[in-house]
Amino acid sequence: MQRIAVMTSGGDAPGMNAAIRAVVRKAIYHGIEVIGINRGYNGFIEGDMWPMNLGSVADIIHRGGTILHTARSEEFTTPEGRAKAYKNVKRFGIQGLVVIGGDGSFRGAKIFHDEYGLPVVGVPGTIDNDIYGTDYTIGFDTAVNNVVDAINKIRDTATSHERTFVVEVMGRNSGFIALQAGLAGGAESILLPEVPFDVKEICDKLMRGVKRGKLHSIIIVAEGAASGLEIGSKIKEITGFDTKVTILGHLQRGGIPTATDRLMASLLGAKAVEVLMEGKTNKVVGIRASETVCYDIEEVFNNTKKDLNTEMLELANILSI
Ligand code: ADP
């Protein structure tokens, strides 16, 4: 293997830069050249790619976002779009591809491999942590820390005014961010897409808390479980409490990646290069019990639902009584 390419695709996640850096430096260490593809599959189709060197990834390990930019590409979902991308594979002499992104991006990679035979490896990069087969995805830890930081600030004002706060966080299909940030932030209730909930019960709990002298309450709502605004107005209607709603939105994706995200990204990026060097394809790299692993890309698609940690779920209920 003499030349590989790397791209970031789908939703951006803090720590993607650390992964790009690891791919580039690990490859160059082994005498492999690296082509950076800008704007995900769009840049692949358009030939928006450039040779990277050690200096190309200098001073990026601590920066959020992705220096290669990212995109969602409608055209790559068509055979015509992928044929254009293949022309660039030939033109640039690419012998392997590392795709840093979510399961959608992995699907694109697999289809491209199956059509054109280019070895592909996926590196899980998404703040949602919802990729099957890996304990962590790049960006998740930073997102959780961003939410906890916001909860801390909201808690100050909530205590001062004796108010109830509803905080809506990201997670359309999965409650990983809500659960971990809710537990770490000491939330009273955590609403997750995976677990049915009853607003009446949440309100009963709030009222019991007030009776025992609680000064404030914070309720975390994953966007896939319910709308924060709706939950806020229902709580206000049932309890009569002054209830404020904060939607954290894209704040959660931004900022300096945490040490954990940089570490995971570095390990995963380097592992992806190793996997390509071993002649493997249609693989995803991941972390299980603090060790890097490599598994079949199909596992991500066949087991779309990654289970929440039940111990954390039970504990969240016990600690918020
Ligand atoms: P993520 O990688 O974060 O899950 P998306 O689901 O939006 O993000 O996928 C990113 C890109 O991957 C899409 O815009 C598309 O270009 C490509 N992709 C996703 N699914 C397919 C597919 N079935 N065939 C070809 N390309 C796909």
Q: What CATH number is given to the structural domain containing 187? A: 3.40.50.460
Q: Is residue 277 part of a domain?
A: yes
- Number of separate domains in the chain: 2
Residue nearest to atom 21 of ligand 1 (CA): 108
Q: Name the residues annotated as catalytic.
A: 128
Domain shared by 123 and 105, yes or no: yes
Residue nearest to atom 16 of ligand 1 (CA): 73
Domain shared by 37 and 134, yes or no: yes
- Report the chain's mean pLDDT, rounded to a whole number: 96
Domain shared by 262 and 131, yes or no: yes
Residue 238: burial class (beta carbons within 10 Å; 0-12, 13-18, 19+): middle
- Per-residue pLDDT at 213: 87
Domain shared by 248 and 113, yes or no: no
Q: Is residue 120 part of a domain?
A: yes
Cβ of 70 less than 6 Å from ligand 1: no
Between the CA of 75 and the centroid of ligand 1 the distance, in Å, is: 10
Pairing of strands 217-222, 243-247: unpaired
> Is 134 a residue whose pLDDT tops 90?
yes
Cβ of 105 less than 6 Å from ligand 1: yes
Between the CA of 158 and the centroid of ligand 1 the distance, in Å, is: 40
HSE at residue 289, side-chain half, CA atoms within 13 A, is 0
Query: What is the average per-residue pLDDT within 88-98?
Result: 98
Cβ of 75 less than 6 Å from ligand 1: no
Domain shared by 229 and 294, yes or no: no
Cβ of 3 less than 6 Å from ligand 1: no
Q: Is residue 152 part of a domain?
A: yes
> In this predicted model, what pLDDT tens digit does every residue of 66-89 receive, in sequence order?
999 999 999 999 999 999 999 999
When pLDDT is cut at 50, 70 and 90, the band that residue 180 belongs to is very high
In Å, how far are 55, 114, 130, 152, 175 from 305, measured between CA atoms? 39, 24, 7, 30, 11
Cβ of 41 less than 6 Å from ligand 1: yes
Domain shared by 18 and 74, yes or no: yes
Query: What is the average per-residue pLDDT within 203-212?
Result: 91
Q: Is residue 149 part of a domain?
A: yes
- Per-residue pLDDT at 18: 98
- Per-residue pLDDT at 304: 63
Query: What is the average per-residue pLDDT within 97-122?
Result: 98
Domain shared by 82 and 217, yes or no: no
When pLDDT is cut at 50, 70 and 90, the band that residue 58 belongs to is very high
Own/partner contacts of 211-216, CB < 8 Å, gap of 24 or more, are 215/158, 215/159, 215/162, 216/155, 216/158, 216/159, 216/161, 216/162, 216/163, 216/164, 216/165
- The two tokens of residue 296 are 């079949």
What does R_g of the chain's alpha carbons equal in angstroms? 22
> In this predicted model, what pLDDT tens digit does every residue of 135-173 receive, in sequence order?
999 999 999 999 999 999 999 888 787 789 999 999 999
- The two tokens of residue 62 are 């601590």
Least confident among 54-68, 257-271, 292-306: 292-306
Domain shared by 17 and 130, yes or no: yes
Our mutation pick for probing the ligand 1 site, out of 8, 70, 77, counting the most ligand atoms within 8 A of Cβ, is 77
Give the domain CATH number at 261.
3.40.50.450
Q: Is residue 125 part of a domain?
A: yes
Between the CA of 136 and the centroid of ligand 1 the distance, in Å, is: 20
Place of tokens 């509803």: 166
Q: Is 223 left (phi over 0), alpha (psi -120 to 50) or beta?
A: alpha
Query: What is the full DSSP assignment across 82-104?
Result: HHHHHHHHHHHT---EEEEE-HH
Domain shared by 88 and 215, yes or no: no
> In this predicted model, what pLDDT tens digit does every residue of 246-291 receive, in sequence order?
999 999 999 999 999 999 999 999 999 999 999 999 999 999 999 9
- Per-residue pLDDT at 302: 87
- Per-residue pLDDT at 162: 77
166 forms beta bridges with 219, 245
Residue nearest to atom 15 of ligand 1 (CA): 73
Ligand 1, atom nearest to 101 Cα: 2
**% of the chain beyond a pLDDT of 70:** 100
Nearest to 136 by CA among 303, 272, 268: 268
Domain shared by 231 and 184, yes or no: yes
When pLDDT is cut at 50, 70 and 90, the band that residue 17 belongs to is very high
Residue nearest to atom 8 of ligand 1 (CA): 10
When pLDDT is cut at 50, 70 and 90, the band that residue 306 belongs to is confident
Cβ of 77 less than 6 Å from ligand 1: yes
Quote the domain boundaries for residue 13.
3-139+257-302
Domain shared by 265 and 248, yes or no: no
271 phi and psi angles, rounded to 5 deg? -60, -40
Cβ of 104 less than 6 Å from ligand 1: yes
When pLDDT is cut at 50, 70 and 90, the band that residue 310 belongs to is confident
Domain shared by 233 and 287, yes or no: no
Question: Which residues touch 165 (CB under 8 Å, ≥6 apart)?
Answer: 154, 157, 158, 216, 217, 218, 219, 243, 244, 245, 246
